[in-house]
Amino acid sequence: MEYMSISQAAEKWGISPRRIQVLCNQARIPGASRMGYVWAIPADAEKPKDARVKSGRYQKQT
C-alpha cells in the first residue's frame, strides 16, 4: 500500500497541512495512521467533507 505525507495530501486536496493534521487527529481520514511523529495517509484516501459550521451559528445538538 502506498502512503502520502501531510504536505502531499495538503497539496493534493488544496487545504493547509495544519487542517490535515486536525483531520487525522479526529480520525476523519480513513486508514491514516501515526508512525512516530508523522502521519501516514493512504495515497487513495478521499478528502473528507468539511463538517465545520459555515453559517456562523452553532446549532444545539439534542
pLDDT tens-digit series, residues 36-53: 999 999 999 999 887 777
- What phi, psi does 59 have (nearest 5°)? -105, 135
In the predicted model, is pLDDT for residue 57 greater than 80?
no
Quickly list H helices, the chain: 6-13, 17-25
Radius of gyration of the chain (CA): 13
Quick check: 30 pLDDT over 90?
A: yes
Provide the residue type at 31 as one letter: G
The range of the structural domain enclosing residue 28 comes to: 3-42
The whole model's pTM is what? 0.78
In a domain, 35, yes or no: yes
Give the three cell numbers for residue 12.
493534493
In the chain, the percentage of residues whose pLDDT exceeds 90 is 74
- What confidence tier does 62 reach under pLDDT thresholds 50, 70, 90? low
Domain-embedded: residue 62: no
Instruction: Give domain status of residue 61, yes or no.
Output: no
Cα separation of 36 and 16, whole Å? 21
The number of distinct structural domains making up the chain is 1
